[in-house]
Amino acid sequence: MDDARFLEPRALTNHGGNFYSFTTRWRFIGTCEEVSALLEDTERIPQWWPSVYHNVRVVRAGGEHSLGKVVEVETKGLLPYTLRWRYEVVEVHYPNGSRLTANGDLDGEGEWHIAQDGAHVNVTYEWRVRANHPFIRRFGWFMRPLFAANHNWTMRDGERGMRRQLEKLHSTSS
């Protein structure tokens, strides 16, 4: 069952057309700690989200639960461009989420909110960014719905990958 939820992007007020705001909601069987562990293990994200995360390089390891971690990534969706960006984990509320800042082809911030709901975990990701990639800047004014669909595809793929990882973890622990 696909429990991912997506909202169409909207331009952030007073920021112009290259700003995007997305909210994604996932729901899994598991614990907040399990989801947090998957998100913290940056080097392994390409293993469960390989169609999107093509290259991940930890620049600075950071502290407990990745606070201060700096990572360079190359990500790709269905459209014919690759995004190169760097993020830093600037806030951690273990095991209930974290906040990161991004710069490069994407500038802005993302926030993971992770909440236990009985045997399930509700995961919300809020992504507010300015797109700096030349292709998006040039064509964003009329391709906004296509960029939104691309983002939604990448997040659905991430939801499927995380679900598989959690199922694998549960099957080996029983």
* Position 163 pLDDT exceeds 50: yes
The fold adopted by the segment(s) 11-173 is Alpha-D-Glucose-1,6-Bisphosphate; Chain A, domain 4 (3.30.530)
pTM for the model: 0.89
Average pLDDT value for residue range 125-146 = 91
Instruction: Say which residue, 10 or 143, is predicted with more confidence.
Output: 143
Record the tokens describing residue 145, joined without a space.
């719905």
Locate the domains of the chain by residue range: 11-173
Instruction: Say which residue, 141 or 63, is predicted with more confidence.
Output: 63
CA distances from 133 to 55, 108, 137 (A): 17, 13, 6
Torsion of Cα atoms, 68 then 165 then 7 then 14, to 10°: 10
Record the tokens describing residue 151, joined without a space.
């983002």
* Position 3 pLDDT exceeds 90: no
pLDDT band at 89 (very low <50, low <70, confident <90, very high): very high
